[in-house]
Amino acid sequence: MVTVCSVTMFFSCRNNFKEVQNIGILSSEPLTVAENINTKYTDTSGLLSVLKSPKMLNYSNRDFAYYEFPDGIDLVLYDENDDETHIIADYAIVYDETDLIDLRGNVVLDTHKRDTLFADQLFYDQKREWLFTNNAVRFRTQDQLIDGHGFDSDREFTKARVLEVSGVVFLNE
């Protein structure tokens, strides 16, 4: 009788370690939630960026990992001369696998040269250091205000161009 009970208990027990590991993956909830973040990213050359946000949701437990900033971001990027590019958006999502940042809602990007881009959505490819959108934009330089549908630029704005230009206003005439 004791042997039968022992064998029954032995075979009825399963190794649930894998199931326990997958609890966070199967859930629709984020793995972690961070509030009032102020993250500084540095390397041997110094400070590269400062990211501030009221809330960050970490979904790195997903097959296609990402970080969501539902209450917006305030991001400052520094170049090799410590010049600042300032970006704000109402919402952002960063995809780990592709290094793509999707900025949405009242996106404003202001360079140290005071070139300013206004858009409803803007993507930043971190690997290629390239900004782009296919949506409506307004781009203000020192002497022009350009409206269009689409935008492409390198990080330093040396190759900035508005696509499908719908209007240009010259500011210093």
Instruction: Indicate the burial class of 69 (C-beta count within 10 angstroms; 0-12, 13-18, 19 or more).
Output: buried
Does residue 31 come out as left (phi exceeding 0), alpha (psi in the -120 to 50 range) or beta? alpha
In a domain, 14, yes or no: no
CB 171 within 8 A of CB 145: yes
In a domain, 142, yes or no: yes
Q: How many domains does the chain have?
A: 1
In a domain, 8, yes or no: no
In a domain, 11, yes or no: no
Residue percentage of the chain with pLDDT more than 70: 84
In a domain, 2, yes or no: no
Q: Which domain holds residue 151?
A: 30-170
List pLDDT tens digits, range 29-86: 899 999 999 999 888 888 888 999 999 999 998 889 999 999 999 999 888 888 999 9
In a domain, 81, yes or no: yes
In a domain, 1, yes or no: no
In a domain, 5, yes or no: no
User: Taking the model in full, what pTM does it have?
Assistant: 0.79
Longest dimension (CA), the chain: 101
The CATH number that applies at residue 122 is 2.60.450.10
